[in-house]
Amino acid sequence: MKSLLLVCFVVIATRGKNYFEDAVSGGLDTSGKLIFIGQVLFEGMLIPGKIFRNDKRIYIEWAGMEKAVEANIKVLCSSHAYKFDWLQTSNANFYLLHDKILIKGGYEPNFFTYIGRIKIGETVNIGKVICASDCLGLYTTKNGSLNLYTHFQVLAYNPLMEHANVIW
């Protein structure tokens, strides 16, 4: 399985008010506003999550609950965001992506952590895809609770992409 860890996560505090200028969006929330891909150092782990504009927190899944964290936050930025691609997959078929360049979203001991998303109704939810010898699924949160999905999209880098993948 190829993976790409050297993507640009920028510390929000160093960017000032324009830190969303080149931030990579993961989709739209129910009100049509962009949701951004973030990462936070929490409890010694690097955890991917979702960031909303005008909110100083990142929302992550941790120990089966939603955590809103205000420190050590980074946002995924790129001047070539159109080269990121969302690939449809599932727990059972995750291994078929071995020839794709998946974006590692964080670090948890004994696991591979990728960035994933799912659309439920009109809402896109961003979270972490956790894999060990098998893929365990996409972990997201909503209203403080854990949601675990077996069918989802995972973020990949495609150097051949010339146009942005459709934002949900």
**What distances in angstroms separate CA 42 from CA 5, 46, 47, 66, one per listed residue?**
18, 6, 7, 13
In this structure, is residue 99 part of a structural domain? yes
In this structure, is residue 165 part of a structural domain? no
> What's the pLDDT tens digit per position in 9-27?
666 554 455 567 788 999 9
> What's the pLDDT tens digit per position in 92-144?
999 999 999 999 999 999 999 999 999 988 889 999 999 999 999 999 998 88
What pLDDT does 87 receive? 97
| Distance in angstroms (rounded) separating the CA atoms of residues 77 and 19 | 9
In this structure, is residue 164 part of a structural domain? no
Q: Which domain covers residue 45, as residue numbers? A: 8-157
**pTM, rounded to two decimals:** 0.87
Q: How confident is the model at residue 69 (pLDDT cuts 50, 70, 90)?
A: very high
In this structure, is residue 95 part of a structural domain? yes
For residue 32 the two structure tokens come to: 């049509």
In this structure, is residue 167 part of a structural domain? no
| pLDDT score of 78 more than 60 | yes
| Distance in angstroms (rounded) separating the CA atoms of residues 157 and 168 | 18
Counting the structural domains of the chain, the total is: 1
